[in-house]
Amino acid sequence: MVKFIASILLLAVVAQQAYGDFKCSLEVPEIPKAWLDMKDACISGMRHQIQEEINASYQYLAMGAYFARDTVNRPGFAEQFFKAAKEEREHGSKLVEYLSMRGQLTDNVSNLINVPTVAKQEWRDGASALEDALELEIKVTKSIRKLIATCESKPYNHYHLVDYLTGVYLEEQLHGQRDLAGKLTTLKKMMSTHGELGEFLFDKNL
């Protein structure tokens, strides 16, 4: 499906270059609209959550890039954060796909996703980065919980979406928070007894 969409976009670009600006002259056919049953508050919440996932992805990307610097050289931390950036981006993509399934992708993508500005791009050490990562996950989790509360409340009762968010997203968030908390505890113990050597050894085992 992704390859098909990419092929269509490529054909559109080639056609535009060959023939200039063009518009489709076909009228949108009238079809029943009863299946479009998502309500405004839930749709807005989904859009907000997509942006939260993209924001987290960019922040993790900045963290990975920092620890990948030759002057920092912590490949374990870099891989951890690059992987997290990919996961958050995939979360955002899956939510976009869900909106598409429910017939709610009616705007330009620029009205759906804004490219975020990364506020922080350097860290004192690995422990401070893991603390920021845990805080970031907590923020995303709170946003998901708020979205669930909105979409399951009356008169919305979007049971399918709530089940999806709870069983997939919230489950992964809770496991992720526990994993980061455990790693942070271990790293701080190692640094308290071995200093920078402790961080070096921890990085090697990430």
Note the residue count of the chain.
206
Q: Which two tokens stand for residue 111?
A: 């009205």
Q: Is 16 within any annotated ligand binding site? A: no
Q: Is 137 within any annotated ligand binding site? A: yes
Q: In this structure, are residues 155 and 54 in contact, taking their beta carbons and an 8 Å threshold?
A: no
For residues 122 and 74, give the distance between their C-alpha atoms in angstroms, rounded to a whole number.
13
- CB < 8 Å & 24+ apart, contacts of 139-144: 139/52, 139/56, 140/52, 140/53, 140/56, 140/88, 140/173, 141/170, 141/173, 141/174, 141/177, 143/48, 143/49, 143/52, 144/49, 144/169, 144/170, 144/173
Angle, helices 126-152 vs 196-204, to 10°: value is 60
Q: Is 135 within any annotated ligand binding site? A: no
CA-to-CA separations, 204 to 70, 78, 199, 200, in angstroms, rounded:
16, 11, 9, 6
Q: What number of other Cβ atoms are within 10 A of residue 148's Cβ?
A: 21
List binding-site positions for Fe cation. Answer: 53, 88, 91, 137, 173
List binding-site positions. Answer: 53, 88, 91, 137, 173
